[in-house]
Chains A and B, each alone.
Chain A
Amino acid sequence: MAHVWRMIAQRLALGFLTLFVVSLLIFGATELLPGDFAEAILGQSATPETIAAIRRDLGLDQPFHTRYVSWLGGVLQGDFGNSLANGQPVIELITKRLGNTLFLALYAAAMAVPLSLALGILAALFRNSIFDRMSNALALTSISFPEFFVAYILILWFAQSGMFPSIVRLSEGISFGETLYRCFLPALTLTLVVTAHMMRMTRAAIINLLASPYIEMARLKGMSPIRVILRHALPNALAPIINVVALNLAYLITGVVVVEVVFVYPGLGQLMVDSVSRRDIPVVQAVALIFASAYVLLNLTADVLSTLSNPRLMHRR
């Protein structure tokens, strides 16, 4: 077990290094974009004097490294600064939206993961049957369409008739059940988008194992096919499945801006896009760090779980 803890510690340390590099890259990349905050916010109404006044006021006239170091200094003390656009503390802007994003990601995952595992296992069990082909075809179809198209189709079927709301409004004080109801369409869209990947990976990983001698042996002993798959094949197929699930969870957290826009869902993706177009660097940085952390942590979790699920890795010599 000790080496697992060592791995976690090592990976976390590396994770922090990654975050540092990411922050530097994002800062530099924002710098390379044409125009800065002052020009972006004033747009067509910019005059040289007002641009200069904004830059002076926000310290944007300082050189790149000065601004980066002062930003980094703040972050190390837990201060992510204020948004350039509306002066609110970045933490305040992000907290609520991060909660919304995580909620939607978990909601979608809670539907997508069991669904894709079940479909994947059944598809492996009834390989090449009509069921297998149908579920593959359906999953591939939904992943092949762009997200916004899937979303519009769902709106057409479920929202225009009034069954579910087409825009998500999360007011204060609504019940959990009501929240689930209001968020159903975006969660369903995301479910449709991520299911195929996980389901096909489950199916492939299990089928891969079905040709192994020990499965042959289990079959020869007269075990039922479902027991062969659940007891003997699945535990050994877990590692790749866990990895693809983690990857999709990370996607659900970081990559859902299109779904957010279509359903007017107040999540991080929209905040990121707005902030990039306004060159609101403190917000961009903070959101980028959250996205990077999501990848680092989920990958780490996946690796730890794969290790735990594999006795050969657990008892290394």
Chain B
Amino acid sequence: MTNSINRSAGLSRRSVLRGATALGAAALILPAGMRAASAEPKKGGILRIGMGHGSTSDSLDPGSWDNAYSQVFATSRHNYLTEIDADGALQPEIAESWEASADAATWTFKIRQGVTFHSGKALDAEDVIASINYHRGEDSKSAAKPIVDGITDIKSEGSHTVVVTLDAGNADFPFIMSDYHIAMLPAKDGAIDPTTTDGCGPYVVDHFEAGVEAKMTRNPNYWKSDRAHFDGIELLPIVDGAARQNALISGQVDVIDRVDLNTVHLLKRAPNINVLSVTGSQHYVFPMDSRAAPFSDNNVRMAMKHAIDREELVEKILNGYGSVGNDHPISTANRFHAGDAIEQRTYDADKAKWYLKQAGMDSIDLELSVSDAAFGGAVDAGVLMSEKSAAAGINLKVTREPSDGYWSNVWMKKPFVASYWGGRPTEDWMFSTAYKSGVNWNESFWENARFDELLAAARSELDNDKRREMYVEMQGLVRDEGSTVIPMFASYVMAHTNAVATPEKVAPNWTMDGFRIAERWWFA
């Protein structure tokens, strides 16, 4: 069941109209940093959150937290070894401190004393080890298995020290321990129970019904005194965009995420509502299969990269809520973003033609397989791309694939597809997840010896200046030789009532203040 869309005149007219409204809306958005400074946090109140995810099949199993609902819910009841703060820096959480061996292959974590689970059990090294081990090993069913695969051994030294040995140096290992899957759960006989709601986080779960609601109250024994300001949290899945918006306007919830970008201008008009837009590491990509012609020729890839109008995509697909990408996956929120060291790529049909000529062609027919499963607006983005690339002699046929089963049947199967990444807090993490040769999620099957060499070197390098140099070179490599078109970074767009107060800076690493809305926000 495949529908083909070839540059339709109707859609282009609509896109133009939409673009016009987007410009208007964009003018009204204040960047997160410029919002009114918030007063001192106050305790009290029940925060009701309407999330655009959540379904009846959600589970408590840490290996299966695949949507923002599960992730916010998990972060509300659990703690992690480390935490990424609003500036993208790493902060201690359950791990009080950590140090690496000289080759960054052995990491020693000091575990915080006096932390108790909701059940009253005191947390120690055994819980930490069991929580990490749950994702490792032959029988692991966890989505986080690939990121802890590098661990060869974990052992405790005393009751509050954990020593982790890796198969190779990794200077960013403590960052990985902040991953939302790797929550600290109570261990029993050396294993965690993946069906428990018990944790050592800010809120205690009173009631959870998958796809309906989760109700939590503040953990009276929470070890952080300056966090968890609400008396309780109610987390509701409201998947329909209009229903979510209505619930906010009619006062049935206090905060929503995933504001529908087509109607955000209407929401802004409602009294007492603030729209909050955070530019983070989430980006939308179009990987090309570099193993086979025509994409095995870098000239074709470069032609494609020059033949898309990034500004237009940000305006029309994201309604201005985002920023242009430069064909590498590192966001401005990352530590080693290249910044001005690498020039921003723009739409240039002549250059695209030139690259096509280098590849020995005057024009080329390509097929782009898209679905809104990849990201909302992916199909429209494909149509916009095909309209612009035509001028460069690239005839892009956009094929709409069914959303159902997109990740198993289209992604990494068809030669040119749409995909998205929530982004990773570190360069190494992002690169080694999707750009290193031969890794599972290298969606473009790109292989580059120099890149792999730099990746390995930078990973165990502890000198930040040297690392920056290497990461900037790698961003350049992905941009100019890589096989992925990265046209845009999408902001996380949320909305809340005036009654809700946020910290001055809202974290850009994930939606809902890095999933930590429950412990970072408060009622004004």
Contact = CB atoms under 8 A, between A and B. Distances in A.
B511 to A, nearest CB: 16
Contacts of B56: 85, 93, 270-271, 274-275, 283
Given A44-B441, A83-B57, A264-B236, A39 B252 contact: no
Contacts of B251: 162
Interface stretch (B205-213, B452-460, B483-491): B205-213
A87 interface: yes
Contacts of A263: 243
A37 B237 CA distance: 22
A167 B404 contact: no
Contacts of B419: 44
B250 A45 contact: no
Given A34-B404, A262-B243, A274 B211 contact: yes
Interface string A78-109: 00000101110000010010000000000000
A155 B243 CA distance: 9
A165 B57 contact: no
Contact of B139 (A53, A166, A275): A53
Interface string B145-172: 1100000000000000000000000000
Given A47-B146, A54-B141, A160-B246, A261 B239 contact: yes
A46 B407 contact: yes
A114 interface: no
B252 A45 contact: no
Interface in B199-220: 209-213
A56 B66 CA distance: 21
B97 interface: no
Contacts of A159: 246, 250
Nearest to B248: A166
B143 interface: yes
Nearest to B207: A172
Contact of A46 (B236, B243, B408): B408
Interface in A130-171: 152, 155, 159-160, 162, 165-167, 169
B445 interface: no
Contact of B211 (A48, A160, A262, A270): A270
A43 interface: yes
B195 interface: yes
Contact of A166 (B58, B211, B246): B246
A99 B257 CA distance: 30
A260 to B, nearest CB: 10
A14 to B, nearest CB: 32
A43 B243 contact: no
Interface in A218-259: none
B140 A53 contact: yes
A34 B140 CA distance: 24
A86 B146 contact: no
Contact of B66 (A45, A87, A266, A270): A45
A34 B411 contact: no
Given A39-B408, A53-B138, A86-B210, A274 B55 contact: yes
Contacts of B146: 45, 47
B86 interface: no
A274 B405 CA distance: 13
A272 B140 CA distance: 28
A274 B56 CA distance: 6
Given A159-B250, A275-B57, A280-B57, A262 B141 contact: no
A172 to B, nearest CB: 8
Contact of B405 (A34, A169, A280): A34
Nearest to B146: A47
Given A87-B195, A274-B211, A277-B404, A43 B236 contact: no
Contact of B59 (A39, A45, A86, A167): A86
A42 B236 contact: no
A194 B405 CA distance: 34
Contacts, number: 135
Given A155-B246, A159-B246, A57 B141 contact: yes
B418 to A, nearest CB: 12
B60 A86 contact: yes
A33 interface: yes
B contact patch SS: loop
Nearest to B405: A34
B211 A165 contact: no
Looking at chain A's contact residues, is the secondary structure mostly helix, strand, loop, or mixed?
A: helix
A35 interface: yes
B250 A166 contact: yes
Contact of A50 (B58, B59, B60, B143): B143
A86 B57 contact: yes
Interface in A42-70: 42-50, 53-54, 56-57
A246 B109 CA distance: 66
B15 interface: no
Contacts of A45: 66, 143, 146, 441
B57 A274 contact: yes
Contacts of A54: 141
Which of B55, B57, B141 has the most chain A CB within a 10 Å cutoff? B57
Given A45-B143, A86-B59, A275-B56, A264 B246 contact: no
Interface in B236-275: 236-240, 242-243, 246-247, 249-253
A132 B239 CA distance: 40
B252 A50 contact: no
B332 interface: no
Contacts of B212: 266
Nearest to B443: A44
Nearest to A265: B212
B408 A34 contact: yes
Contacts of A270: 55-56, 211
A271 B54 CA distance: 12
B243 A261 contact: yes
Interface in A185-220: none
B464 interface: no
A98 to B, nearest CB: 13
A152 B242 contact: yes
A167 B145 contact: no
A61 to B, nearest CB: 13
B64 interface: yes
B239 to A, nearest CB: 6
A35 B403 CA distance: 12
A41 interface: yes
B141 A162 contact: no
B405 A42 contact: no
Nearest to A88: B210
A50 B142 CA distance: 7
Contacts of A35: 405, 407-409
B440 interface: yes
A47 B139 CA distance: 13
Contacts of B138: 49, 53
Interface of A: 33-35, 39-50, 53-54, 56-57, 83, 85-87, 93, 96, 152, 155, 159-160, 162, 165-167, 169, 261-264, 266, 270-271, 274-275, 277-278, 280, 283
Given A49-B138, A85-B56, A266-B212, 5 more contacts: A54-B141, A86-B58, A86-B210, A165-B250, A277-B55
6 contacts: A35-B408, A50-B145, A56-B139, A85-B59, A169-B236, A271-B211
Interface of B: 50, 55-61, 64, 66, 138-143, 145-146, 195, 209-213, 236-240, 242-243, 246-247, 249-253, 402, 404-405, 407-409, 411, 419, 440-441
- A-B pairs, top 8 by smallest CB distance, nearest first, are A34-B405, A85-B57, A86-B59, A35-B408, A45-B143, A274-B55, A39-B408, A166-B246
